[in-house]
A and B are shown apart, each in its own frame.
Chain A
């Protein structure tokens, strides 16, 4: 008995982690999947109902708006974060004085919650007393900036705040990537007469392929899950113009008590994340095996 215990001690120690994740992650996802095929309203029902909830979901105007917003947000969020992140990383890589201070400034938003920064941005973008008033007081009398309360433009305020929060993170990833390149490669290229621009454009950036990939995966993942920022900034409004899937899911579940429908929307989010993550994990694992 004691011998058995000793032999299996590692597995016993491992058990809580595996058990908890098995139950609370995999078990729960399966439960949600099952419920998405039932006609559950306030309380879960367990007789199967087919794909009705998915049909209902994709016929819902609010969900279509949410998906639309997600696509707009993801595209802009990706482009701006990556472009700003790369520019900052390359510039910081030029033996800059006070690099530490600048890096700290670029990255501090990551330490704050989206609720904190959303509250700040909501005040800054506020049409009466915020940025608009600042420009009017500076003499631009016809300056208007009402995106926060404008149905067409409100989604872009979420992009502004989101990029501000996450661009520094992309910078950190690229800076780490650039620093891991051997000096010799850059030196050799310079001896061959390549200028700095060519060195980065032709040699270093193409070497950053894995970093691009990682940034892409993480940013898409953040954007699919974005919830807090929208709650803090617009609550999905004006109207339902800035709804996103994560907000749709919680509202449908906890305000509208449409448990089956919200489970279906959660599964759509799950599949979207899985489509990005599984290839990523696969390639990471292969890279590790190759080492």
Chain B
């Protein structure tokens, strides 16, 4: 009796072991299939950028390039060297850097201050102020494009990098405030209260107590803002053209310009160049990127 039940239990265990193994294989199979699906466009971009047009016409999307041929990259970055109509990414890449750095700095700073006040120097109605700012994360920017275009014109900074810095700083504030506010909420207010009793002032408390522990949220905010602003197309294409355009706009113009034969290898090299800064940040600091995404991710 004892033996029989024991052996059937063993059988059962054996059986569930097989189903389990089958399930694990199935699991990995599905996960790998999806991984291939996600990696496929990146793979195609890279191999296409390394091929000559002749190779592209002869092979398929997946064909391995015959060698490491970076000609299209050079053309995408620096052009062919003949004057008019020769568009390449280098100047626009620098436009984007000049736009991103100040915009990220200002929006992060303003957001940090706002988050600090909203959590540690609470006042009547602060919840409403937060909600007031938060709504700015969600508005469709189409609803502000027309007045913004006019405002930039009146200020004399339309079609300039400075104009784009202003736009990105302003519309980044709701996000940066959200990040800092949610982070500072979790820091015990007792510390701040004690410091206040000791006579520490507003800025001293910020720099001595909050700033030293803020590194993670600063990283999250900078990465988030950097990615959003670098990847922006709507503001860039609406408020700038020609020489002041950021890189995404230049990339789109390059790909759309239908001069002579379509050069897919140069298109792909350009796309990689435009995507590489954010991709590097993502690979190096993915943890912080995901935190930004899941803690306040609302932007389209």
Residues of A within 8 A of B (CB): 6, 9-11, 13-14, 16-18, 20-22, 24-25, 27-29, 31-32, 35, 44, 84, 87-88, 91-92, 94, 96, 102, 104-117, 119-124, 126, 129-131, 133-134, 137-138, 164, 168-169, 172-173, 176, 217-218, 221-222, 224-228, 231-232, 235, 245-246, 249-250, 253-254, 259, 262-263, 265-267, 269-270, 273, 277, 281, 285
* B271 and A20 within 8 A (CB): no
Interface centre among B56, B116, B140, B252 (most CB of A within 10 A): B140
- With contacts A133-B60, A277-B135 taken as known, whether A113 is within 8 angstroms of B230 at the C-beta atoms is yes
Q: Tell me whether B211 is interfacial, beta carbon within 8 Å.
A: no
Chain A residues closer than 8 Å to B57, beta-carbon distance = 129
Chain B residues closer than 8 Å to A124, beta-carbon distance = 40-41, 44, 61
Q: Kindly provide the distance from the CB of A145 to the nearest chain B CB, expressed in whole angstroms.
A: 12
* B145 and A21 within 8 A (CB): no
Chain B residues closer than 8 Å to A13, beta-carbon distance = 113-114, 116-117, 202
* A113 and B31 within 8 A (CB): no
- Mind listing 30 A-B residue pairs with CB under 8 Å? A11-B123, A13-B113, A14-B118, A20-B170, A25-B139, A84-B34, A88-B31, A91-B31, A102-B35, A106-B35, A107-B286, A109-B38, A110-B289, A111-B275, A112-B279, A116-B231, A119-B255, A119-B267, A120-B45, A123-B267, A129-B57, A129-B61, A137-B60, A164-B37, A176-B294, A218-B297, A225-B141, A262-B146, A266-B145, A270-B143
Residues of B within 8 A of A (CB): 24, 27-28, 30-31, 34-35, 37-42, 44-45, 48, 56-57, 60-62, 110-111, 113-114, 116-118, 121, 123, 127, 129, 131-136, 138-148, 150, 170-171, 173-174, 177, 201-202, 227, 230-234, 237-238, 248, 251-252, 255-256, 264, 267-268, 270-272, 274-275, 278-279, 281-283, 286, 289-290, 293-294, 297-298, 300
* A107 and B290 within 8 A (CB): yes
Q: Kindly provide the distance from the CB of A128 to the nearest chain B CB, expressed in whole angstroms.
A: 9
Chain A residues closer than 8 Å to B146, beta-carbon distance = 31-32, 35, 44, 253, 259, 262-263, 266
* B31 and A92 within 8 A (CB): yes
A21 and B24 CA atoms in complex are apart in Å by 51
- With contacts A119-B267, A228-B233 taken as known, whether A164 is within 8 angstroms of B144 at the C-beta atoms is no
Q: Which 4 A-B pairs have the closest CB atoms?
A: A113-B231, A10-B121, A111-B282, A225-B300
* B133 and A18 within 8 A (CB): yes
- With contacts A87-B30, A91-B30, A270-B140 taken as known, whether A172 is within 8 angstroms of B300 at the C-beta atoms is no
